[in-house]
Amino acid sequence: MKLLVDVGVGKAVERWLANQGMDVAAVRDLDPHMTDVGILAWAAREQRLVITMDKDFGELAVHQAKLQAGVLLLRLGDAPSDEKVLVVRRIFELHSEVLPDHFCVYQNGRLRVRPLPE
């Protein structure tokens, strides 16, 4: 799976995903100040699932249909890195097949999944 990890998610999650053999690109490596629209354009161009903690992606991805590969929005507040890694690990272990082409929100131990508009 090809992934694009937003800055707020953190390096620990980036490393864990890469160690699992996933194709991981990190926004921080290209431009840590990249706009959300720029991130979605990059993701669409390279068919990458965006992993973010930025709620603005909901509006962009679902209501404006500006994404082709999917978004995983982590609603984890100020969670420490090790908790983020545990959550992402569990999501990928249980739900990796539904992440592409969907808008997924993880909050309070639950993953909500919505298909992206065509």
At 41-99, the pLDDT tens digits run 899 899 999 999 998 887 777 666 556 689 999 999 899 999 999 999 999 999 999 99
Q: In what order do the strands lie in the sheet with 49-52?
A: 23-26, 2-5, 49-52, 71-74, 102-107, 110-115
Average pLDDT over residues 87-115: 94
pLDDT of 101 reads 87
CATH number of 2-115: 3.40.50
Question: Is-contact 65 98, C-beta < 8 A?
Answer: no
- The mean pLDDT of the chain is 91
Put simply, whether the predicted model's pTM sits higher than 0.85 gets the answer yes
| Residue-range domain boundaries for the chain | 2-115
Highest mean pLDDT among 6-10, 67-71, 100-104: 6-10
Average pLDDT over residues 28-51: 92
